[in-house]
Amino acid sequence: MKDYRRFISFIVLFTGGFYWLNSRVQIPYLSASLIAAFLFLIFIIWDQYLWKKKRFYISFLCSLATGLYDYPDLSGCWKAKYFSSYKYDEKNDRYTTEGEGTVTISQCYSMLNIEGMFASSSKFESVVANLKQKENGRWMLVYAYRSTPTDTALASARNGGMHMGFCYLELSDNHKKLEGFYSNDEQRKTRGKITLEKQHTK
């Protein structure tokens, strides 16, 4: 989510435009510090507020003007359902281990954080997360996470301790569902399918 390269390009072009305008028309009190403060204020407003305003195409028009991405707003609470290979029916080729959980996504333009809990057995948080747009225009959420067991029996099991994992989810057209796959590290050695359905916006 750290889309700073485009913002830096925007700052350089914007500052150059200010100085060009000032060379043609003298603007009182125009200085480098004033320009920097103005640009910083613009970024704060964009980062915390404007990027998520989809009404009247506000974020789209701002993105078009600055070259920044028009990210979907995923912030809020999501209900999770997963199917794990922990116990797998090889004969019928299907998952037999499943469960539910809750996921909370916190997001501004420059930051994306995902955390949640599955039943009462484990909790997780993302260590890196990013939104990527596919060539067909649809968005996917990709993140690495750290999972920590909260259940004593699970924590003491041979493959049940803290572990790392990776998740790939595709966003539906109405931005209300994320669906895809996850895979854990060599300690847990499990993988599976997961679906998130949005409950309400944060």
- Return the percentage of the chain with pLDDT > 90, whole number: 35
Model confidence over 77-97: pLDDT tens digits?
Answer: 999 998 887 666 666 666 677
Distance CA 93, CA 89 (A): 6
Report which DSSP code applies to 56.
G
Model confidence over 108-158: pLDDT tens digits?
Answer: 988 999 999 987 778 999 999 999 999 888 999 999 999 988 866 655 566
CA distances, 85 to each of 184, 191, 195 (Å) = 11, 6, 15
Q: In whole numbers, what is the pLDDT of the chain averaged over residues?
A: 80
CB 145, CB 164: distance < 8 Å: yes
Model pLDDT, residue 158: 61
Domain extent listing, the chain: 4-66, 76-201
Provide the residue count of the chain.
202
Model pLDDT, residue 40: 77
CA distances, 24 to each of 11, 15, 18, 177 (Å) = 20, 14, 10, 52
Model confidence over 49-82: pLDDT tens digits?
Answer: 877 876 656 666 666 655 677 889 999 999 999 8
Model pLDDT, residue 132: 93
CB 82, CB 193: distance < 8 Å: yes
pTM: 0.75
Model pLDDT, residue 48: 85
Q: Which fold has domain 76-201?
A: Lipocalin (2.40.128)
CB 72, CB 105: distance < 8 Å: no
